[in-house]
Amino acid sequence: MSTKIASARISEKSSKLLQDLNNSLPFDKVLYREDIEGSRAHASMLCEQNIISVEDYNKIDAGLLEILEEVESGEFKLDGNDEDIHMAIEGRLTEKVGDAGKRLHTARSRNDQVALDFRLYVQNNTKTIASLLLENIRTLVNVAEEHAETMLPGMTHLQHAQPINFGYHMLAYASMFKRDYERFLSSYERNNYSPIGCAALAGTPHNISRQLTSDKLGFTAPTLNCLDTVSDRDFALEILFNISTMMMHMSRLSEELILWSAAEFKWVTLSDRHATGSSIMPQKKNPDIPELLRGKTGRVNGNLVALLTVMKGLPLAYNKDMQEDKEGVFDSVRTATLSLQVLEEMIADMTVNKDAMEDSCMVGHLSATDLADYLVKEAGLPFRDAYHITGDAVNLAEKKGLDISELALDDLQSIDERIGEGVVALLDNRASMNARMSEGGTATVRTLEQVESLRGWLSKQK
């Protein structure tokens, strides 16, 4: 097809280098479905508003449907010299249906056309990513229910802190993904407005109905201001930010899985389906999948910063800089979609090594805080004094090569006679975990309540 379909003022053939720099078809061809859907809605509105004839409309619509089939069957390759997907499809339509095809671009510009196509793409993929998030939340909740009694050392500063259960730990990630899901949905609602009919920047003198195209395309309403609409890429920035935040969560989970698979922990074993070998060390099993998920977080962050930077100095309205909006979004969407699918499979398939986790709980005096809490509750000590007495108990345990939960009552009373009989039972790690009954706490019953709460929430999502 001619690269000059829209170049009334340009007589010379474009330089090859200009085409290489300028043409977006090599990457925006993925928008062919959205472009055809948008054009069909636009043509149908033009016909209803008596701007084009029914005859022309029928030709345009049949032509566009044929082009859709040609692209999907590979007959129409989208690898020509056309500047972009919009010109490629319009050119092909005109080849097929003649003058009727040339009427399609009435009352629109590529500026609102690209804003529409790209927004449809972002909206569709927002839904796909949101539903993959739900799958991940479901899986995490299932693992959480199974392991609401599996104890492990909860950490701060990556140092053993207090006993928690593995289910509770998984629910922390389920909570992050729930917020991510809600962020994608709220972006969807905020951006669900139709750009088409804004034309180049100022609207059009044709008697169009933006409400009609908006309804046909499933938007909430047409956008308010055309100048803003053709200049706006907030919807693209939002999906990039939402993906970055979600991948940051995934990266933290990946980091933990990598640590937990190391010999020093051995808390989880990733299935052989999700691990790879070394080319030189035959004994090795590497956690490449979580490493890649962690690594890919870097590139999606890059895509976000790149588009923020592209947009920051642009005068209104459309500037060709904005063509740089697409590749990063396509890349982040592809990355997010694949990563979420892999993560879900990996979590569902991993083995949780309960014994190794529970053995680790005997290191680090995890229940020390319970002694201090006991002295506050039962002996009325100020917390700071109780804290120091507990420090002495920890030192004694260290000297004896024991965990604080293994100290005998006599040992404890040698430190402070206000320590009564009940303490020994309180210092047991499981008792310590189950004592954390406050709302949102780690006690097994509280963990199971959180499981139920998330299940209730999941059942209400579409």
Residues labelled as active-site residues = 157, 278
Decide: is 317 part of the binding site for ligand ARG (CB under 6 A): no
The answer to whether 49 and 209 have CB atoms below 8 angstroms apart is yes
111 binds ligand ARG (CB under 6 A): yes
Residue (173 or 318) nearer to ligand ARG, CB: 318
24 binds ligand ARG (CB under 6 A): yes
Tell me the closest approach of the beta carbon of residue 232 to ligand ARG, in angstroms.
13
Sites for ligand ARG among residues 28-67 (CB under 6 A): 28
**CA 156 – CA 74 distance, rounded (Å):** 55
CB of 63 to ligand ARG, least distance (A): 21
Q: How many other β-carbons are positioned within 10 Å of the β-carbon of residue 237?
A: 19
Q: Which stretch binds ligand ARG (CB under 6 A): 53-61, 97-105, 259-267, 319-327?
A: 319-327
331 is a contact residue toward ligand ARG (CB under 6 A): no
Query: Following DSSP, what letter does each residue of 185-245 receive, concatenated?
Result: HHHHHHH-EE-TT-TTTT--SS---HHHHHHHHT-SEE-S-HHHHHH--HHHHHHHHHHHH
90 binds ligand ARG (CB under 6 A): no
Contact 177, 252 (CB under 8 A): no
Q: Is 138 exposed, middle or buried (0-12, 13-18, 19+ CB in 10 A)?
A: middle
User: Which one, 26 or 422, has the nearer CB to ligand ARG?
Assistant: 26
Q: Angle at CA 362, nearest 5°, toward 409 and 383?
A: 55
Nearer to ligand ARG, 23 or 191 (CB): 23
Considering beta carbons, is residue 28 or 145 the nearer one to ligand ARG? Answer: 28
The structure tokens listed for 360 are: 């680790």
Query: Would you say 413 and 424 are in contact if contact means Cβ atoms under 8 Å apart?
Result: no
| 37 vs 145 by CB, closer to ligand ARG | 37
Q: Is 322 in the site for ligand ARG (CB under 6 A)?
A: yes
Task: Quote the least distance from Cβ 6 to ligand ARG, whole Å.
Answer: 8
CB half-sphere exposure, 1, CA atoms < 13 A = 25
Question: What does the DSSP 8-state code read for residue 404?
Answer: G
- Say whether residue 294 binds ligand ARG (CB under 6 A): no
Q: How far is the CB of 364 from ligand ARG (least distance, A)?
A: 56
Backbone angles phi, psi at 281, to 5 degrees: -105, 100
- φ/ψ (deg, to 5) at 152: -150, 160
Angle between helices 444-459 and 110-146 (to 10 degrees): 140
Q: Per rule CB under 6 A, is residue 323 in the interface with ligand ARG?
A: yes
Q: Which is nearer to ligand ARG, 29 or 446 (CB)?
A: 29
Residue 21 beta carbon to ligand ARG: minimum distance, rounded to whole angstroms: 12
Q: Do 362 and 370 contact (CB within 8 A), yes or no?
A: no
| Shortest CB 45 distance to ligand ARG, Å | 20
Q: Does 122 bind ligand ARG (CB under 6 A)?
A: no
Contacts of 240 (CB under 8 A, 6+ apart): 300, 303, 304, 307, 328, 329, 332
Q: Smaller CB distance to ligand ARG: residue 34 or 56?
A: 34
Report the residue from 37, 61, 84, 403 that binds ligand ARG according to the rule CB under 6 A: 84
Q: Select the span of 107-115, 172-180, 257-265, 278-286 touching ligand ARG (CB under 6 A).
A: 107-115
Q: Which residues bind ligand ARG (CB under 6 A)?
A: 24, 28, 84, 110-111, 114, 318, 320, 322-323
